[in-house]
A and B are shown apart, each in its own frame.
Chain A
Amino acid sequence: MSWQYLSEIFPALLNGTKVTLSIFGLTLLLAIPLGLLASVGLRSRFKPLRAVLDFYVWLMRGTPLLLQLIFVFYGLPLMHIVLERYAAALFAFVLNYAAYFAEIFRGGLQSVDQGQVEAAQMLRLNSRQTFRYIILPQVNKKVIPAIGNEVINLVKDSSLVYVIGLGDLLRAGNIAMARDVTLVPLLAVAAIYLGLTAVLTWALRQAEKHYAYYD
Chain B
Amino acid sequence: MLTLQGITKKIATRTIIDQATLNVEEGQTLCIVGPSGAGKTTLLRIIAGLTPYDHGKIELDGQPFVPAQDNLKAGVIGVVFQDFRLFPHLSTLENVVLAPRLTFGLSPQAATEQAQTLLAQLGLTEQANQYPFQLSGGQKQRVGIARALALKPRILCYDEPTSALDPNLRDSVRDLILQLKATGMTQIVVTHDLVFADQIADRTFQLAPYQS
A141: chain B residues within 8 A (beta carbon) = 89
> Is A138 at the interface (CB under 8 A from chain B)?
yes
Tell which of A129, A138, A214 touches B131, judged by Cβ atoms closer than 8 Å: A214
Q: Is the CB of A122 within 8 A of B148?
A: yes
A118 and B50 in contact, given A138-B89, A214-B132 (Cβ under 8 angstroms): yes
CA distance A141 to B90 in the complex (A): 13
A124 and B103 in contact, given A118-B50, A214-B132, A214-B133 (Cβ under 8 angstroms): yes
> Is B87 at the interface (CB under 8 A from chain A)?
yes
Q: Is the CB of B88 within 8 A of A215?
A: yes
Q: How many A-B residue pairs have CB under 8 A?
A: 55
Q: Is the CB of A124 within 8 A of B99?
A: yes
CB distance from B114 to the nearest CB of A (A): 14
Size of the B side of the interface (Cβ < 8 Å), in residues, is 24
B85: chain A residues within 8 A (beta carbon) = 113, 115-116, 118-119
9 pairs of residues in contact across A and B, judged by CB atoms under 8 Å: A116-B87, A122-B48, A123-B151, A125-B99, A125-B102, A137-B89, A214-B132, A214-B133, A215-B133
The secondary-structure label for the interface of chain B is mixed
B103: chain A residues within 8 A (beta carbon) = 123-125
Fill in one digit per residue for A90-128: 1 if any B CB lies within 8 Å of its CB, else 0. 000000000000000000000001011011011111000
Q: Is the CB of B81 within 8 A of A119?
A: yes
Q: Please report B residues at the A interface, Cβ cutoff 8 Å.
A: 48, 50, 72-73, 75, 78-79, 81, 83, 85-89, 98-99, 102-103, 131-133, 147-148, 151
CB distance from A108 to the nearest CB of B (A): 13
Q: Is the CB of A124 within 8 A of B88?
A: no
CA distance A165 to B102 in the complex (A): 52
B133: chain A residues within 8 A (beta carbon) = 214-215
B89: chain A residues within 8 A (beta carbon) = 137-138, 141, 211, 214
A213: chain B residues within 8 A (beta carbon) = 131
B83: chain A residues within 8 A (beta carbon) = 115
B88: chain A residues within 8 A (beta carbon) = 138, 214-215
A124: chain B residues within 8 A (beta carbon) = 72-73, 75, 99, 103, 151
Known contacts A115-B81, A214-B131, then 8 further A-B pairs from the complex at CB < 8 Å, ordered by chain A residue:
A115-B83, A119-B81, A119-B87, A123-B147, A123-B151, A129-B102, A211-B89, A214-B88
